[in-house]
Amino acid sequence: MDALIDDSMLWVEINNSSMFRTPSNVESALVFQVKTGFGKAQCLVFLSIEPGACFNELESMPLQILLQQVAHQLEHQTRLNRQKFHSTSLLSRLAELSNLFNDFASEWFWKTTENNLFTNVLTSNEANNLYKRHFLNKTFDDVITEHEQTQLKKWSQFKHLLSEQNEFIDFEFEINSSPQAWVSFSGKPQYDANGHFKGYMGIAKDITVNKDREYALNLAKNRAEEASLAKSQFLTVMSHEIRTPMNAIVGMLELLADSELNEKQSRWLNYANTSADLLLDLISDVLDFSKIESGSLQLDVKATDIYTLVKNIASQFLETSQSTGVIFSSEIKTELPKTIDIDSVRVGQILFNILDNAIKFTKVGTVNFKVDSTEKELIFEISDTGQGMSQSQLETIYDAFKQHDDGVNRQAEGIGLGLSITKSLVDLMKGTITVVSEPNVGTKFTIVIPFTLVKETTHTQEQEQSLEPISILVTEDNKTNQVLIKTFLEKLNHHVTLADNGQQAIEKVQASTFDLVLMDMMMPVMDGISATKYMREKLNLTIPIVALTANASKQDKSACLEAGMDKVLTKPIRFHDLNRALRILFSQ
């Protein structure tokens, strides 16, 4: 657009004008108003200092021509500047539109007749032309796969919406195409001016990539679950296979301790007992770690005499420390709450793990066990003057299978699960565990565990006297364990009958009268669960049935109780535990 010069040239008498701030010697001024095609007005002023002089029309003509050239130049420069600005903005906008287009590149538009026949398929890129070829002149019935049960149910819902001419959003279907594809449909019914239905119009989106990703994730999840299940089954079987012979080993060592032994034999027996206990602890640690890892470990909270519990633990470690160079001391608050709701087994496990480490890593020095409480929390402090730990060791102290005494020369036994399990148990109890340590100075653990008070009630004391002799059926497939349990029971003056499996046990309870059945869980021919169910449901047997199982999981114990068993004893079974269980059972 050409530059415009205003036709009205302004002759301004300086003395009568306040428009311009001018020198005092200026006599007159000629003002031109310049407008470009962009609508921006500018002024150009010519001043004269000649006294009495004034610009005339003849003098202004060349100036006007000059100004036209100036206006053209101004407009040209402005246009260039604006083009440059718009060019930059356009590139930015194109980038935004490109990104937006890419977001919708997997989507395409479709239209059907009232009979659901695809008449229009508009795609945004070449890749989606597959759908144009595949859908045109076909119906939903022709293009959607129905071979999966989940698809059939969804397809039924979809057809119902179509028949009712309803709007639908994000219905995902597998398409009869090669290669395999998944499409998400959203559609809205269309009507003519008279309100007659004339078909659907909508958007479809290729979701094949998402479905492939979802399939891969589900496949990985299923494989992980299968691996976890296989691991759990393996550990269950291994627990049974290891605990069964360990039951015989521990039991026979216990029987041997009651025989006449000289000093050397007693010492050897103590070594054997210590090794057996260590092996059992390792088995328990591996099983506990597996449960923690899978999230299946649960607390067994019940009323506990906490003072007696920690006093017994302190007494045991006092005795243990006497054979070492460690001086063990304990400070147990006498005003501890009498009875609290807590998992006593797991609390004991936590304290055993840390106290055992304190003694193991303190060759010469002291270990102190302090127990305190508030109204709602137990506070345990275990400190030692042992070798201590560096900052880098503290950072990995709770890692599984990690020992800061690693190497072929390490002196401590174990597989590095104790503190990892301890931390997990404390977390499970909603407690806290902290540690402060310094190399060659010592270590202090502080554990805080919340608890709930139990109102004191009068409890019937366990009968400590021996039971009258009773008749007991022992169902156990392992011959060594048969001998062990039979020997334990005969020491208590009970009458014992043996059965090798569940089927034999059923036959024997039908042929004779018993006061109690001890039932192994895993046996050939018929297992203990099946035999117990048969006795309860078919024979209406009401006598106590006690499980003897090497399967230590809570699920296995629950299965025993649900089958009708009255109590569960976990192998290895010790004489004292068996005697106590019988007393409690027959005192009720």
Task: Express each pLDDT in 292-324 by its tens digit.
Answer: 777 777 888 888 889 988 998 898 888 888 888
Nearest CA-CA partner of 200 in 156, 155, 158, 167: 167
pLDDT at 92: 63
**What CATH number did the domain enclosing 565 receive?**
3.40.50.2300
Are 540 and 400 contained in the same domain?
A: no
Which long-range contacts link 321-328 to residues 24+ away (Cβ below 8 Å)? 321/359, 321/367, 324/359, 324/363, 325/363, 325/364, 325/365, 326/359, 326/362, 326/363, 326/364, 326/365, 326/366, 326/367, 326/384, 327/365, 327/366, 327/367, 328/359, 328/366, 328/367, 328/368, 328/369
Distance set, CA 572 to CA 188, 277, 301, 519 (Å): 70, 10, 23, 14
Nearest CA-CA partner of 110 in 185, 162, 14, 172: 185
pLDDT at 555: 77
User: Residue range 176-192: average pLDDT?
Assistant: 82
Are 8 and 91 contained in the same domain?
A: yes
d(CA 46, CA 70) in angstroms, rounded, equals: 15
Task: Express each pLDDT in 189-202 by its tens digit.
Answer: 888 888 889 988 88
pLDDT reading at 273 higher than 50: yes
Phi-psi region at 407: left, alpha or beta (left = phi > 0; alpha = psi -120 to 50): left
User: Residue range 264-288: average pLDDT?
Assistant: 77
pLDDT at 146: 61
Note the pTM of the prediction, 2 decimals.
Answer: 0.49
d(CA 361, CA 443) in angstroms, rounded, equals: 10
Are 571 and 501 contained in the same domain?
A: yes
pLDDT reading at 374 higher than 50: yes
pLDDT reading at 449 higher than 50: yes
**What CATH number did the domain enclosing 158 receive?**
3.30.450.20
d(CA 420, CA 399) in angstroms, rounded, equals: 6
Task: Express each pLDDT in 113-167 by its tens digit.
Answer: 888 888 887 766 665 667 777 788 888 888 777 655 556 777 777 888 888 888 8
Residue 417 identity (one-letter amino acid): L
User: Residue range 209-223: average pLDDT?
Assistant: 88
Contact 519, 546 (CB under 8 A): yes
Are 424 and 527 contained in the same domain?
A: no
Residue 275 lies in a domain: no
Nearest CA-CA partner of 339 in 454, 430, 452, 225: 454
pLDDT reading at 565 higher than 80: yes
Nearest CA-CA partner of 588 in 462, 474, 498, 403: 462
Torsion (CA) 141, 147, 148, 152 in degrees, nearest 10: 30
Residue 33 — φ and ψ, nearest 5°? -95, 120
User: Residue range 340-369: average pLDDT?
Assistant: 91
Nearest CA-CA partner of 182 in 138, 215, 217: 215
Q: For residue 500, with 0-12 CB atoms within 10 Å meaning exposed, 13-18 middle and 19 or more buried, which class applies?
A: middle
> 435 falls in which pLDDT band (50, 70, 90)?
very high
> 40 falls in which pLDDT band (50, 70, 90)?
low
Are 50 and 85 contained in the same domain?
A: yes
**What CATH number did the domain enclosing 435 receive?**
3.30.565.10
Q: Which structure tokens are listed for 312? A: 């017994």
Could you give the number of structural domains in the chain? 4
Are 322 and 416 contained in the same domain?
A: yes
Nearest CA-CA partner of 572 in 200, 294, 245: 245
Contact 160, 171 (CB under 8 A): no
Higher per-residue confidence, 554 vs 385 = 385
- Which structural domain, as residue segments, surrounds residue 491? 471-587
Are 169 and 93 contained in the same domain?
A: no
Are 411 and 316 contained in the same domain?
A: yes
The mean pLDDT of the chain is: 79
